[in-house]
Amino acid sequence: MSSVSSRAVARRYFGTDGVRGIVGDVLTADLVERLGRAATLWSGRGRVFVGRDTRASGPELEEAFAAGVVSAGGSAILAGVLPTPAVALLALDLGVVISASHNPPEFNGVKLFDRDGQKLTDEAEEEIEALLDAPATGGGELDRIGVATDSYLEHVVERFGSDLTGLRIGVDCANGAYSGLAPRAFEELGAEVVTVGDEPDGTNINLGCGATDLRTLQQTVARSGLDLGVAFDGDGDRMLAVDADGIAVDGDQIVAILALHLGVDAVAVTTMTNLGFHRLMAQHDVRVVTTDVGDRYVLEALRREGAVLGGEQSGHVIYLRDHVTGDG
């Protein structure tokens, strides 16, 4: 087992997964516009692909970020509601998600991906913060597209799909970006689907549903006699599961199952991963690389070690064969 630690960087706004905060308090439209301008300047005034989750504050902040892109001479392409992993796959010179992931509705945030769909390094985020007060130059443009969801769904089903005929599955979309989309994917693969948290109204994302609160899904699976249930978080980069008895299956267990099923020789996890996982991997001669908490550190380790599978206890699952980032 090897361990990897990440250098601490003094950043004012960026945390472990982008910039997040309560809208109107820490996170304002002005700050988001400045982030849009700074990130565009940092990326070379190129094309910036922007998606968002279902929070009521999303449209305003999406427009603010786009205004920042345009003010720096870049091209903003707005895709509307789209899961985070879809933005990573479709990133142009920069990919941006307006989301606070698993946090409640009053929060929002900004996640950034480079042209390869990778989350930015600490150093890159520090460089962007240094450009927050850069003057506007103008000369940019804005466009809107509506085909991104279909492109993403096709990619996931074709590259990762398997025959689910005969399975009855509960799908909890957290009233987030996977609403309507995840049930459709399972149905296309032949499953019978019962949905939970599939009616977003801007104020109910992650509330009493999703990967952060499995109770509704557990009750639905047990009451309806389903074979299993899967729960996503608000922006779709995490997933947890429940078995036919409604018992939770966490990220450690999911990554362990995948490691053995896929026959990988190495896996990357964080310091939160339990001892049982390490023992199981040792029994099967699977090398374990341990990183600081945060899926981007797991991603960095996978790329550095030439491995393809990793994840976190919280439900981030990363499989880099035909993908670029974690995807619920």
Q: Which of the following is catalytic: 43, 101, 179, 314?
A: 101
Give the pLDDT of residue 224. Answer: 97
Give the pLDDT of residue 17. Answer: 84
Listed as ranges, residues in the chain with pLDDT below 50 are 4-9
What predicted TM-score, i.e. pTM, was given to this entire model?
A: 0.92
Give the pLDDT of residue 45. Answer: 86
Listed residue (98, 99, 91, 97) closest to 118, CA to CA: 91
Give the pLDDT of residue 296. Answer: 87
101 as an active site residue: the answer is yes
Angle made by CA atoms 12, 18, 22, in degrees to the nearest 5? 75
Angle between the N-to-C axes of helices 122-129 and 29-43, in degrees from 0 to 180, rounded to the nearest 10: 110
Residues 104-130: pLDDT tens digits? Answer: 999 999 999 999 998 898 899 999 999
Domains of the chain (ranges; CATH) run: 12-148 (3.40.120.10), 161-249 (3.40.120.10), 252-328 (3.40.120.10)
Give the pLDDT of residue 10. Answer: 62
Give the pLDDT of residue 2. Answer: 59
Give the pLDDT of residue 5. Answer: 46
